[in-house]
Structure 1
Amino acid sequence: MNSIIFMGPPGAGKGTQAKILCDTLGIPQISTGDILRAAVKNGTQMGLEAKRYMDAGDLVPDSVVIGIIKDRLVEPDCKNGFLLDGFPRTVEQADALDKILSTEGLKIKRAINLEVPDQELLERLLKRAEIEGRSDDNETTIKSRLETYNKKTLPLLDYYAAKGNLSRVNGVGNLDTVTKLIEKELA
């Protein structure tokens, strides 16, 4: 079973590479944002709870996000594997994920970290903001997002390295080259 976590800073190419890999492996890409919106739309118990926080402009707490992830991982399309994109973001979330998977007799096969230097990330994100017309993505907000990533998410590298399932992949290069590097790590 292919149970994969994609990690990396904003702009590293996680979403692009996740789509390619999921198409190749025939597994679903599970994006936290997407499943939160779907749970709200479908009116699930966890979705309704998440909606309360979202409507108030607050971050959805870990307990709700983890509940929604748990509900998603037991759906039939995940039986042959899944790729988590954007979750976990903290060591606490990773611990909770391990507990969920353990109750289902599952574990993470590979945690892949796409590594890209900060200057390259800044350039990519500014270019994406310009192309997509995203006025909220400016140099200040991008640097803030990278700082948050480095503080809260970077410790996951040690977490998965200690478990022996971390792969560090150079995320700089053309699309096909990076895809081949990722596929090599999963072989």
Structure 2
Amino acid sequence: MLADPAIRAAVDQALLPCGRQLLQTAEGNWVTGFCDPLADALAAEEVGTLAAVDRAVLALVLLHTVAIPRARGRHRHSRWTGEAHTVTLAELASKRRISKAAMRTALRRPRAAGMVAETTTGRYLPGPALERMSEVRSNLLWEDLILVGRPGGQLAAAIRRRRGLEVPAPRGELLEIPTETDRM
């Protein structure tokens, strides 16, 4: 039914007052997601957002299941789901300052939101809620992973410049903060 452009346009128009839009999945199915302006407004008000520790754990899941496999040539598309790359709790907690118990607790909220899924064998992978992001939102998340995964790289520097973000200080050094006379 949604293959018909006229019907799809009518459904899109009906969803717009609710702040929703149609998004096509890689399999050709249709889901709804928030329109970007509404998503921006909700995030600014911290409505439906994850706590910092939950976001950090979600980033670890995405790094282990999507970004690293993609860098190794094993994740051959730009979608968040659809591949069988998984990560265990032990791998997530390895060499981290957060305990396994805290990691397990932090995984509950992204799982409840559908951002992380768990297999029957206790392995974690990206959840179906990530399919509800617009292409713009998905690209921003990829950029965020680049900023986290390789903050000193040239691509990260270009992303920070485009976003108007400060360049992070090298570890152990402080950035010089410009004085009022430096700005003149």
Q: Shorter-chain-normalised TM-score: which range?
A: under 0.3
Is the strand fraction higher in 1 or 2?
A: 1
For the pair shown, the structure with the greater C-alpha radius of gyration is 2
* Greater relative contact order (CA < 8 Å, ≥ 6 in sequence): 1
Is the helix fraction higher in 1 or 2?
A: 1
TM-score by length of 1: 0.26
